[in-house]
Structure 1
């Protein structure tokens, strides 16, 4: 592999990792607050992709309006999921919440399957994203440039919210001790709703990016994507927002580079991602940026 091809694969890996990172943030924030692995989170991303497909290909809206529509639908789905499925089980054993999350995941997959059918849908990508950009012999598309930039910008906004606003302070306090925060007069359910709004919005953006990068949509597309994003969150350090982004970048980079170096083993790329995760956790069980939950959050 020559240097130009290697550089191009690095860019592709960072772009793929950015999508994983946006989904991983949702996993790590919900876990940080509720100690819940929200397995339905990746299916919210899938719902966003189908919502954008419906808005653009059926209603004929532009990509910008389709994105806004998908974000609104995802936020509604995320908030309703918390209100209907998770809120009644706040004080139940965590295994009950985990099983409920899996049930919500199956429900979203099947309702989309019934609504849109099981046949894969082709997402119409705007011509702008089909352009080819040549940079010193390296062939790039606007997608691989825009996705990492947007991801880093959203990370900066999220960190500002978490550490510079009163709602961010409430989220971090709630993650530290939900019972004490409730006794201090803070509406914990409202703060949890904000967490789901943020996570669902980020999942929607990742769904749009995925639809543009890989424009074939299926109701079960979120299964493997979600597992990899969860692996990214664990790899970076579950409970750390920056760790989730770092884990997403590393996982996407590893996946793309492995296929580039060993194309004959491309069918094993999904397994390689999890094998890499296992080896990292053997030496650092809390993840690369794992935090001490007794002292800090996010």
Structure 2
């Protein structure tokens, strides 16, 4: 019982990170109907920005503690949002009126560019950091096994929930959110009604990249390592979470992230860790066989 409870806590904290990244996938798909395959590498860039900022602040003795983590988070969000804006301007906007395969190819090319840029500028070796948030709260004890909710896991869950609350408010209560929902329903009609669709799409990429930066900073603090290829694996899992929850559904992205995190964690705990990714993708395949639109997805209506 205690072991299962510990794995549940671990799975929820990991799933929260996947859910944040999956929101970026589903936002872009909801507005322009395309999958941003460079989003995983935007996450990777956010991790390296956070790593550089952390080394400069903490190792240099400039700042330490919670204030340093908040500043690192803000710096990572700002710079990663700029990368997200650049991806939209370079890889998507020039090809928006082209055939549907062209932006997909362009996004894959941008993913390769970002990977090689980080590899050349930061090196190919993994970059470890010292743990910045240590300790936790003991929840229960069963023999010698202790169930612990670490402060890092509390930070992940709290930060993720706060980010999702702010994002939900932004989408549902602000003019930008109304413009985003209008573009999702009918981009051409929204443009005719005076909505700046180019600006709305750019801000969507910016917000998605900022959420990826939050996930990247939390991932770096939790696992203590970053490398130039990390965006591919994590990005594929977050994309799987978005599809599992229902691509285009924001609650579905978060639900899918939690499910992927729980599946991966419990499989690693009770079965062979080498096959945890196979388990997650198998669940995805079974879900799509019986629910082709995902758990919370909806059927697309063809506009004529």
TM-score (norm 1): 0.94
Q: 5 Å matches for 1:205-244? A: 205-244=214-253
- Secondary structure in 2 matching 1:130: coil
CA distance in 2 between partners of 1:68 and 1:161 (Å): 18
Cα shift at 1:42: 1.1
CA distance in 1 between partners of 2:300 and 2:23 (Å): 17
Q: 2:163 aligns with which of 137, 154, 164?
A: 154
Cα shift at 1:225: 0.4
Q: 1:107 aligns with which of 113, 123, 130?
A: 113
Cα shift at 1:24: 0.1
Q: Can you give the 5+ residue segments of structure 1 that lack an aligned partner in the other structure?
A: none
CA distance in 1 between partners of 2:217 and 2:73 (Å): 7
Residues 176, 293 of structure 1: 8 Å contact kept: no
Q: 5 Å matches for 1:107-146? A: 107-126=113-132, 129-137=133-141, 138-146=147-155
How many residues in Structure 1 have an aligned counterpart in Structure 2? 289
Q: Can you give the 5+ residue segments of structure 2 that lack an aligned partner in the other structure?
A: 142-146
Give 2:3's aligned residue. Answer: 5
Residues 130, 141 of structure 1: 8 Å contact kept: yes
Residues 112, 219 of structure 1: 8 Å contact kept: yes
CA distance in 1 between partners of 2:199 and 2:261 (Å): 34
CA distance in 2 between partners of 1:292 and 1:173 (Å): 18
In the alignment, is residue 180 of structure 1 matched against residue 184 of structure 2? no
- Secondary structure in 2 matching 1:192: helix
Task: Pick which of 145-154 and 266-275 moved more.
Answer: 145-154
Q: 5 Å matches for 1:38-77? A: 38-58=36-56, 60=60, 62-77=68-83
Cα shift at 1:192: 0.6
Residues 123, 215 of structure 1: 8 Å contact kept: yes
CA distance in 2 between partners of 1:124 and 1:86 (Å): 38
Cα shift at 1:153: 2.3
Give 1:200's aligned residue. Answer: 209
Residues 57, 124 of structure 1: 8 Å contact kept: no
Residues 45, 200 of structure 1: 8 Å contact kept: yes
Task: Pick which of 210-219 and 224-233 moved more.
Answer: 210-219
Give 1:92's aligned residue. Answer: 98
In the alignment, is residue 14 of structure 1 matched against residue 20 of structure 2? no
- The root-mean-square deviation of aligned C-alpha atoms, in Å, is 1.3
Q: 1:276 aligns with which of 280, 283, 288?
A: 283
Cα shift at 1:274: 0.4
Cα shift at 1:151: 1.7
Cα shift at 1:294: 3.3
